[in-house]
């Protein structure tokens, strides 16, 4: 069986749980050497690494707060030290907190933009230093930019920013043959979403009802598309947005 990411080195941010963990495991199964980044959940990150290694794959965990320039620099230097380059970056680390506009504060705004936007740009800036020709960057965006949920203006604004930087950097990095694409998942049932009580809430029920395929997503609905964008199969695809949301708009 041929592995679609054989000999590729991939850094996946926020990969200790949820969507990031599912992507990391899928990448490991497809033959990539995986750097599992985490901010605080060392145990969870080690579990992901162990699962990949047990299945015959190659992985290490590296701690870094993705909004801290020194830590991000260190993350990619260590990845390069371990594997000799970085072929793929999956920008997945993020924060979301739903609040109405009345409660907006500068701190709340900064918390979201520093990780969700500045963090993505920082990671790209550092990854490109170690990326050979033909590298691939995949940014996790969201369908919130399409359906605009209430009380999520700040989070939605960060994802709109991701769409803008994806398009602009796809042009800027094209001379290096580095592709930049984004995935826009719908509501995916991850640990974080479940812990937030979204699934049992009216929001979860309403979203399911408005989704033509009548269910919320699971991480394994998203991971194969990330593999495709990381692989050479998508070598003529850049600056694109892939919507995976069961038809929900």
Query: Which active-site residues does the annotation give?
Result: 155
Interhelix angle 119-129/153-172, nearest 10 degrees: 20
What CA–CA distances, in Å, run from 17 to 65, 82, 98?
Answer: 15, 22, 20
Residue 195 token pair: 């812990």
Strands of the 241-244 sheet, one edge to the other: 58-63, 33-38, 9-12, 88-91, 136-140, 179-185, 241-244
DSSP letter assigned to residue 201 = S
Check if the beta carbon of residue 161 is closer than 8 Å to that of residue 182.
Answer: no
Listed residue (166, 160, 85) closest to 129, CA to CA: 85
- Rg (alpha carbons) of the chain, rounded to whole number: 17
CA angle 141, 147, 153 (to 5 degrees): 70
Residue 114: which residues within 8 A CB-CB, separation 6 or more?
Answer: 67
Hey, which residues does 90 pair with through a beta bridge?
A: 12, 138
């Amino acid at each position: 069986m041929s592995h679609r990411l054989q000999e590729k080195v991939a850094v996946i941010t926020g990969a200790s749980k949820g969507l990031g963990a599912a992507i990391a495991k899928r990448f490991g199964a497809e033959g990539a050497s995986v750097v599992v980044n985490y901010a605080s959940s060392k145990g969870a990150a080690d579990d992901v690494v162990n699962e990949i290694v047990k299945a015959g794959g190659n992985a290490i965990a590296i701690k870094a707060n993705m909004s801290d320039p020194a830590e991000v620099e260190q993350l990619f230097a260590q990845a390069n030290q371990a594997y000799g380059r970085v072929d793929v970056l999956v920008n997945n680390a993020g924060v979301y907190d739903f609040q109405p506009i009345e409660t907006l504060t500068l701190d709340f705004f900064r918390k979201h933009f520093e990780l969700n936007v500045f963090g993505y740009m920082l990671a790209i800036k550092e990854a490109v230093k170690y990326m050979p020709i033909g590298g691939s960057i995949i940014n996790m965006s969201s369908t919130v930019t399409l359906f605009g949920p209430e009380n999520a203006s700040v989070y939605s604004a960060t994802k709109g920013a991701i769409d803008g930087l994806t398009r602009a950097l796809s042009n800027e990095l094209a001379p290096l043959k580095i592709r930049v694409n984004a995935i826009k998942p719908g509501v995916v049932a991850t640990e974080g979403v479940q812990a937030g009580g979204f699934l049992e809430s009216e929001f979860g029920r309403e979203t399911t009802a408005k989704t033509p395929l009548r269910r919320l997503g699971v991480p394994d609905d998203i991971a194969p598309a990330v593999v495709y964008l990381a692989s050479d199969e998508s070598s003529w695809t850049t600056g694109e947005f892939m919507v995976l949301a069961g038809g929900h708009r």
